[in-house]
Amino acid sequence: MKAVLCKQYGPPASLVVEAVPSPQPGPGEVVVAVHAASVNFPDGLIIENKYQFKPELPFSPGGEVAGTLSAIGPGVSGWAVGDRVIAVCGWGGFADEVKVAAGKLIRLPEGIGMDAASALVITHGTTHYALQVRGQLQPGETLLVLGAAGGTGLSAVELGKLMGARVIAAASSDEKLALCRAAGADEVINYATEDLREALKRLTGGRGVDVVYDPVGGDYTEAALRSMAWGGRLLVIGFTAGTIPRPPLNLPLLKGCSLVGVFYGGFTEREPDRADALMQQLLSWLREGRVRPVISEYLPIEQAAQALDTVGQRRARGKIVLTTALGRSAGLP
């Protein structure tokens, strides 16, 4: 099989594509024949040794795939070769096949495409957990989404509207903001040309925002925190700006607001039944057409380095999906 390999830590250009033996499942494991793999920001961090998980070299990046089961290891029950699945594998997904613990599988219902399925869990799964469980977002509240044109940000715009919020999308170009409008944003802010705090004051009549969805970090976090309404919640999703902010802690005190961490992987490990219930709701919404990951580009899996560079440089609009030869033979772009 073909696999995209990280043989030494470095930028996407250091990745290579090689033929490697197909993985063999051990006890409690399965092998997924990959049709589609989506590209996420942590995939770029892991190949540069900047992520909290550090697989042994060499390895394939790629933490989220959709495909069919091609082999089942000892002790695995409830699954059969040929079953359609989503696999949240952490790494290993940028390959024709990936070995994964059976507990990391999500059964994929008929009627949902492999491409949309591969782009669902890390973005929409994180956002669903963030807004519903950690943020307790209520109908009629105002939600500010930073980095709103990325895959994660667009999922927050979409799910925020579905949950009845007034959504303000902030991004760095008018082109990105047009995408946010198409995803359902009520208001938009170009924070490359506008002062974020002044724009939020104008759009909220000085009241501030109830919930902030922040996958960006950097300087925008403090500006958003200073724009919170009383009792607001700032959801800490990630730090794509590259800087972990250190906002003054007198701000949450004075505003009666909360800084709330969102670690979706930890949630799925510690509360699997609750996480599964949320995922089943997401899959229902996807099947009904109420949510839909925005896929801006399809590339063959051999071009993973190009995709990772686009995501790492924050040039992506929505999600990039990589397809294997098997996926393309089944009808994917």
d(CA 263, CA 13): 29
Q: What integer pLDDT is reported at residue 56 of this predicted model?
A: 95
**pLDDT at 313 > cutoff 90:** no
Question: What are the residue ranges of helices labelled H in the chain?
Answer: 41-47, 114-118, 126-128, 151-162, 174-183, 196-203, 219-225, 250-255, 264-270, 272-288, 304-312, 325-329
**pLDDT at 242 > cutoff 90:** no
Residue 250 — φ and ψ, nearest 5°?
-70, -20
User: pLDDT class for 241, splitting at 50, 70, 90?
Assistant: confident
Structural domains in the chain, sorted by start: 2-120+293-329 (3.90.180.10), 123-265 (3.40.50.720)
Q: What is the pLDDT of residues 162-179, one digit of tens each?
A: 999 999 999 999 999 999
Half-sphere exposure of 24 (CA within 13 A, CB side): 1
Q: What integer pLDDT is reported at residue 175 of this predicted model?
A: 93
Measure Cα distances from 172 to 89, 147, 316 in Å: 31, 8, 12
Q: What integer pLDDT is reported at residue 326 of this predicted model?
A: 97
Task: Classify residue 73 by burial, with Cβ atoms within 10 Å: 0-12, 13-18, 19+.
Answer: middle
Q: What is the pLDDT of residues 189-199, one digit of tens each?
A: 999 999 999 99
**Which of 9-13, 14-18, 229-233, 291-295 is least confident?**
291-295
Stretch 272-285: mean pLDDT: 96
- CB 98: neighbour CB atoms within 10 A? 27
**pLDDT at 317 > cutoff 90:** no
User: pLDDT class for 52, splitting at 50, 70, 90?
Assistant: confident
* pTM, 2 dp: 0.93
Half-sphere exposure of 309 (CA within 13 A, CB side): 11
d(CA 143, CA 282): 20
Q: What is the pLDDT of residues 201-224, one digit of tens each?
A: 999 999 999 999 999 999 999 999
SS3 label, residue 171 = strand
- CB 57: neighbour CB atoms within 10 A? 11
Q: What integer pLDDT is reported at residue 91 of this predicted model?
A: 97
Stretch 258-282: mean pLDDT: 95
